[in-house]
Amino acid sequence: MKSFKILTFGCQMNEHDSEKLAGLLKAEGYRESERLEDAGLVLLNTCSIREKAEQKFYSALGKLRELKEQNPSMKIAVSGCIAQQEGNSVLKRAPFVDVLFGNQNIGRLPYLLEETGGQASGRRAATEFPEGYEHASIPASRGNAVTSFVNIMYGCDNFCTYCVVPFVRGRERSRKPGDIIREIEELVKSGCREVTLLGQNVNSYGIITPPSPSYIKRGTEGALLGNINERYCDFPSLLQMINAIDGLLRIRFVTSHPKDLSDSLIDAMANLPKVCNAIHLPLQSASDGVLGRMNRKYTFEDYMNRLGALKDAVPGLAVSTDIIAGFPGETDDDFRTTLRALEDIRYDGIFAFKYSRRPMTAAQRLPGHLPENVKDERLYKVLEVQDRIMREKIGARVGLVEEALVEGPDKSGARGRLTGKTTQGKIVNFDGPPELVGRLVQVKIIEGKKHSLAGKII
């Protein structure tokens, strides 16, 4: 029997793409292997957001080359953002890769495998890398029945100067509300109770841009298609429709751009009972100079005003963020402003990164690139400050009663131990019978650990 193993790098969007790739392969009669060594097809779904992610990919590829030398019938496929960014040059650089395809070509995987013509033929297949084609209706093979990812939009039009996403995921395209609702209704029928809506910038959901016809000259699509873009509904209205789906208990979404955090989204978060008390709102830096050069289109004051309004409207809101340390031209003063902001805002979680030079992006040409050791030191300081804040915040939850959605058995495998999440998105473990999976329970928090809570059902 044909077998596969997928190695996923990067964000939740990639994780979900891997679920779709697994769904496609299973529909073609492939079985998922536990071990890499046993797989007839190994697929690397790649990330290129930072240089480190690319290095991880190339070192995984090196290991696979060795495996393939021992087992020449093994096929190796590469997908995701590196494939999209580098195109066929990956095939040149790695002659043992059999199949290569970009983010807009996920649905072509079965055809590409066919084109390589069986394992001994030595033929290789790659797609073109167009932008703007969807793969929305591919049935995903999802890991967990209780919580699921659902794409609501693809791509990004923001062009933050450090970011490759607009180049590797293309222009913003939204799925139709009806397609999204139908997908969630189907998920609920098979036991799903919580959805995480995925998009690079969910708050600008709603513009449906038809794929560019090939006869339109590249670069002029925007002007020509501008008058036939449609707005089916905006993000708050979509949330309202999803909130009305019977049997669904919770809604989460990532990621929100602070500049698009509208009053109507604040209202929706405050008034729709299924929308969780959590938001990921990337700040990146608290210095207005740096924010300007990042092309973030807000000042620190704008950010604080939006966040303040949201916190006032949604009591008990958990806020997480992304921070980039050592952006080109970031001075000691700029950096101190960001550290102070972390102390003031006291985020529930952060993802912090040191600035990484990326191909195609505008920031690589900015003056004032900082030495690695300065970026390392700044990143270390951010993590140190945040570690303390997180410990304090987790500790402060001990004694509270929280509502948790039970997701399944505790990962440690301890008998009778369950795992779930609070509305704020914090992991909580507790004793209980397996029948509770998929239900909401009230849990008294008895201990705060480094990244999770321990509780007792009451």
Binding site for ligand SF4 (CB under 6 A): 156, 158-160, 163, 165-166, 200-201, 257
Q: With CB cut-offs between 5 and 8 Å by kind, which of ligand 5AD, ligand SF4, none does residue 166 bind?
A: ligand SF4
Residue 143 identity (one-letter amino acid):
G
Q: Which one, 64 or 324, has the nearer CB to ligand 5AD?
A: 324
Please identify which residue in 105, 151, 284, 337 interacts with ligand 5AD, judged by CB under 6 A.
Answer: 284
**Residue 399: which region, alpha, beta or left (left: phi > 0; alpha: psi -120 to 50)?**
left
Which among 182-190, 290-298, 355-363, 392-400 is the span making contact with ligand 5AD, rule CB under 6 A? 355-363
Contact 32, 60 (CB under 8 A): no
Binding mask 37-56 for ligand 5AD (x = CB under 6 A): ------------xx------
Query: 53 by DSSP, 3-state: which?
Result: helix
Confirm or reject binding of residue 169 to ligand 5AD (CB under 6 A): no
Please identify which residue in 30, 162, 167, 235 interacts with ligand 5AD, judged by CB under 6 A.
Answer: 162
Q: How far is the CB of 144 from ligand 5AD (least distance, A)?
A: 23
Rounded CA separation 438/48 (Å): 35
Rounded to 10°, the helix 263-271/300-313 angle is 30
Structure tokens belonging to residue 32: 């998922």
Confirm or reject binding of residue 163 to ligand 5AD (CB under 6 A): yes
Q: How far is the CB of 220 from ligand 5AD (least distance, A)?
A: 28
Confirm or reject binding of residue 254 to ligand 5AD (CB under 6 A): no
- Burial string for 5-32 (b: 16+ CB within 10 Å, else e) reads bbbbbbbebbbbbbbbbbbbbeeeebee
Q: How far is the CB of 251 from ligand 5AD (least distance, A)?
A: 21
| Residue carrying the six token digits 């890499």 | 36
Q: How far is the CB of 369 from ligand 5AD (least distance, A)?
A: 12
Confirm or reject binding of residue 296 to ligand 5AD (CB under 6 A): no
Rounded CA separation 75/112 (Å): 12
Nearest by Cα to 278 from 146, 458, 402, 456: 402
Q: How far is the CB of 367 from ligand 5AD (least distance, A)?
A: 16
Q: How far is the CB of 280 from ligand SF4 (least distance, A)?
A: 11
Please identify which residue in 254, 261, 276, 324 interacts with ligand 5AD, judged by CB under 6 A.
Answer: 324
Nearest by Cα to 420 from 400, 442, 398: 442
Number of residues located near ligand 5AD, criterion CB under 6 A:
12
Confirm or reject binding of residue 298 to ligand 5AD (CB under 6 A): no
Q: How far is the CB of 235 from ligand SF4 (least distance, A)?
A: 15
Residues 6+ apart with CB under 8 A from 413: none
Which among 100-108, 267-275, 351-359, 443-451 is the span making contact with ligand 5AD, rule CB under 6 A? 351-359
Rounded CA separation 138/108 (Å): 11
Give the strand pairing for 278-280 and 250-254.
unpaired
Please identify which residue in 10, 206, 282, 328 interacts with ligand 5AD, judged by CB under 6 A.
Answer: 282
Q: With CB cut-offs between 5 and 8 Å by kind, which of ligand SF4, ligand 5AD, none does residue 174 bind?
A: none
Confirm or reject binding of residue 375 to ligand 5AD (CB under 6 A): no
Q: With CB cut-offs between 5 and 8 Å by kind, which of ligand 5AD, ligand SF4, none does residue 158 bind?
A: ligand SF4
Return the H-helix or E-strand segment holding 341. helix 332-345
Give the strand pairing for 401-409 and 417-422.
antiparallel
Q: How far is the CB of 159 from ligand SF4 (least distance, A)?
A: 6
Rounded CA separation 276/238 (Å): 15
Confirm or reject binding of residue 335 to ligand 5AD (CB under 6 A): no
Q: Which one, 257 or 378, has the nearer CB to ligand SF4?
A: 257
Confirm or reject binding of residue 20 to ligand 5AD (CB under 6 A): no
Contact 104, 143 (CB under 8 A): no
Contact 339, 378 (CB under 8 A): no
How far is residue 90 CA from its own chain's centroid?
Answer: 24
Contact 216, 224 (CB under 8 A): yes
Q: How far is the CB of 158 from ligand SF4 (least distance, A)?
A: 4
Q: How many residues does the structure list for the chain?
A: 458
Contact positions toward ligand 5AD, by CB under 6 A?
A: 49-50, 162-163, 282, 284, 322, 324, 353, 355-356, 358
